[in-house]
Amino acid sequence: MAIRRSLCIWCLFAISILSVARAVRADNLTIASTPSGAKVEMNGVVVGTTPYQMKVPGSYLHRPHSVFSEKLEHQMTARIYKEGFAAQEVVLTEGPYKWISATGVVHGSYYLLKNSHIEISLESTATLHAPTVVPAKMDPSSKHSDRREMPTEEIVRRASPAVVQLFGTELQGTGFFVTEEGLIATNRHVADGSATLFVATSTGARLLGRVIYSDPHLDLALVKVDGSGFPHLSLVDLVAVHPGATVLAVGYPGGGLPGTVTKGIVSAVGKIEHHEGTWIQTDVALNPGNSGGPLLDAEGDVVGITTMKLVETPLSAPTEDDSAGIATLRRARTQPNSPAQGSAPGITKPERVATPPGIQLEGMNFALSAQDLIDVMKRAFPNATLRANDAPAGNGNVTIHSKPENADIYVDGKFVGSTPSELPLSAGLHHIAISARGKKSWERDLEVLKDAQVQLHAVMDSQP
């Protein structure tokens, strides 16, 4: 009996040792492409070029998990692209799966990598450029004294080819071409910190757009795609926008059909507290996914960029909720509603309103004025003719090690892989966070300089 008990103990010990060995064993995740030399983005952050190899814990690839295994708790998506070729996006993981112990207790969920080797064949974009050009020129200085109202159907026919759908790592929204050289305007919250976005045109083409400008104060971003001859829309300055004027929006609301059109009027023009820029209030219906699309006047020109809607959320502070693809200005009952007496014209002040809690407001939708976009383009890109490979600031290489290794790396809040890794991060300020199960997170704000070589060594203490 004692011998049998000893054998059982030794068997359990051996199984434990094998489980530990399997849990700590490292494997390689390899991403290759034809042609090679393509950039690899992991969850929106550039991590290298093909052929790209990253070390991952063995438990990211193999089942079953033991109590000693590291869990992959995030879905991983890779985007592979190269100039002159259509980008491809690959979901690297499958799941989530429930992690259930031998006693039947659920210990959370995890993902598994589908394969350890990913091979991508990139397709040339030579035939993907939209052939139609809308006969419109950007003339922000025009006062439009001779402008003529067009039928709604004609406005939509002319504008729709210039309106595109944008896909980020987490959100989707709308944008529109403002130059024939492939410059696209959209909202900053649609870009969501991504280096690139997929651009779907009305012709069915699927292009890769590079985020070349993201305004830190306005909810505004500019995206550039390769090519020329794109249909584009005209912008009008603020003097042409008046309350009561007819306007319509074209966009890609989630759950709606592509190129959805809604119509209404300009309700008011002015400032909103806590939000920079000049805003156009409208009763045009806006829904998640409309963000970044054009608000058009009766002549088919852009007067604003559809951005957010006002709803009633009791006992909350004003915040922007962009989780659904259109920013939602949530406010308490005492937050901005209408101009208070004695305030400056066009400035909205807090005023108590008798709106029952939980009732959604109707027709309180907002577009950032095209004047703000005009001013940004004049200041940042005076010639408005850019090339997709004009990197705004360059890159620096950041090599990250940790103790223990195989820890998760987050760059600006996005999971990009495990230590050790070498990341070509864009010049500028980045927040780096390293985390491992049972350890205190290691976090640093890092200023990356162009062409810099930076080494980070994260030593994580055990949690108390």
pLDDT value of residue 174? 94
Strand partners, 72: 111
Query: Quick check: 185 pLDDT over 90?
Result: yes
What confidence tier does 127 reach under pLDDT thresholds 50, 70, 90?
Answer: very low
Percent of the chain with pLDDT over 70: 71
Residues 199 and 337 occupy one common structural domain = yes
61 within some domain: yes
What confidence tier does 11 reach under pLDDT thresholds 50, 70, 90?
Answer: low
146 within some domain: no
Domain that holds residue 320: 152-380
Q: What pLDDT digit, counting tens, does each position of 326-385 carry?
A: 544 443 222 233 333 333 333 333 333 333 455 666 778 899 999 999 888 876 665 544
Ramachandran category for residue 425: left, alpha or beta (phi over 0 → left; psi -120 to 50 → alpha): beta
Query: Quick check: 203 pLDDT over 80?
Result: yes
186 compared with 169, residue with greater pLDDT:
186
103 within some domain: yes
Q: How many residues does the chain have?
A: 464
Query: Quick check: 70 pLDDT over 80?
Result: no
Strand partners, 212: none
Last residue of a domain, one of 352, 380, 408: 380
What confidence tier does 18 reach under pLDDT thresholds 50, 70, 90?
Answer: very low
Residues 200 and 325 occupy one common structural domain = yes
Percent of the chain with pLDDT over 90: 23
Residues 6 or more apart in contact with residue 363 via CB below 8 angstroms: 264, 267, 282, 283
374 within some domain: yes
- Strands 260-272 and 246-251: what pairing? antiparallel
Residues 319 and 237 occupy one common structural domain = yes
CA distance 127 to 205: 9
Q: What pLDDT digit, counting tens, does each position of 223-257 carry?
A: 988 888 899 998 888 888 889 999 999 999 877 78
Is residue 461 within 8 A of residue 439, CB to CB? The reply is yes
Range in 2-11, 177-186, 319-328, 355-364 the model is least confident about: 319-328
Residues 406 and 368 occupy one common structural domain = no
Residues 263 and 335 occupy one common structural domain = yes
Residues 427 and 315 occupy one common structural domain = no
275 within some domain: yes
135 within some domain: no
Residues 6 or more apart in contact with residue 217 via CB below 8 angstroms: 276, 277
Angle 178-183-186 from CA coordinates, rounded to 5°: 75
Please tell me the total count of domains within the chain: 2
What 8-state DSSP symbol labels residue 240?
G
Q: What is the mean pLDDT of the chain?
A: 75
Last residue of a domain, one of 339, 358, 380: 380
Strand partners, 117: 30
Ramachandran category for residue 383: left, alpha or beta (phi over 0 → left; psi -120 to 50 → alpha): alpha
Strand partners, 186: 221
What confidence tier does 65 reach under pLDDT thresholds 50, 70, 90?
Answer: low
